[in-house]
Amino acid sequence: MPDAVPDVTGRVSRIQQITIAWMCLEAGVSLWAAMRAKSPALLAFGGDSAVELLSAVVVWRRFQRNLSDERAERRAARIAATLLIILAIFVAATSALSLLGYSEPGPSYVGVAVLIVAAVFMPWLARRKRRLSAEAQSAALRADAAESMLCAYLAIIALVGLAIRAVWGFAIADPIAALLIIPFILREAREAYKGRACCGD
């Protein structure tokens, strides 16, 4: 269908522009809140937001080109996969520092507000990207969808960790939960490198 490719390209471009705008706000606010509160969970979340911002820009630029450009697609998929690996390392390092007691986190109401919005908004964004990645046959967009979903998971984990710490004083809850996300991150990175464009739900 000749009109399908321009339509998909336009929809991908719009969803990536929404992602870029939100991630600029999310990364800036969460990293600022993390520094103020010395919170490893918020720092991991802010780092994820920064990585996702870079990934969204890469995928958006890829779709400014011809949809059938396979070299551009492979390059974008590999960059997105590399960013997922960087994210896994970042989450592991941040969690390790927290578990070793190198930081004493405090409360951050601004951080909590950003986490709540991300936990609600990012799953919707990820679902849209997954559907579009199947239509466009884009492994790069699929990897970017995975990063959007991981952003939601990390937001929920950080919220649960902050709640457990506030109620029971169990400070290691959020870094332990964050470490459990790492295998999923690495699996998505591997699939992006392989060039898989749709998720096996």
Q: What is the mean pLDDT of residues 150-166?
A: 80
Task: Render pLDDT for 108-139 as a digit per residue (tens, 0 to 9).
Answer: 778 888 889 999 999 999 999 999 988 888 88
Output the pLDDT for position 57: 87
Token pair, residue 120, equals 């609600």
pLDDT for 16 beyond 70: yes
Euclidean distance between CA atoms 87 and 47, whole angstroms? 7
Across 8-22, 89-103, 139-153, the highest mean pLDDT is recorded for: 8-22
Residue type present at position 19: T
Is residue 41 within 8 Å of residue 157, measured between CB atoms?
yes
Token pair, residue 175, equals 């870094």
User: Percent of the chain scored above 70 by pLDDT?
Assistant: 84
Euclidean distance between CA atoms 118 and 49, whole angstroms? 10
Euclidean distance between CA atoms 24 and 14, whole angstroms? 16
Token pair, residue 93, equals 């390092």
The top-level CATH class assigned to 4-104+114-194 is mainly alpha
Note the pTM of the prediction, 2 decimals. Answer: 0.72
Measured CA distances, 70 to 67, 138, 195 (Å):
8, 10, 10
Residue type present at position 32: W
Output the pLDDT for position 67: 52
Q: Is the dihedral of CA 23, 193, 15, 181 positive or negative?
A: negative
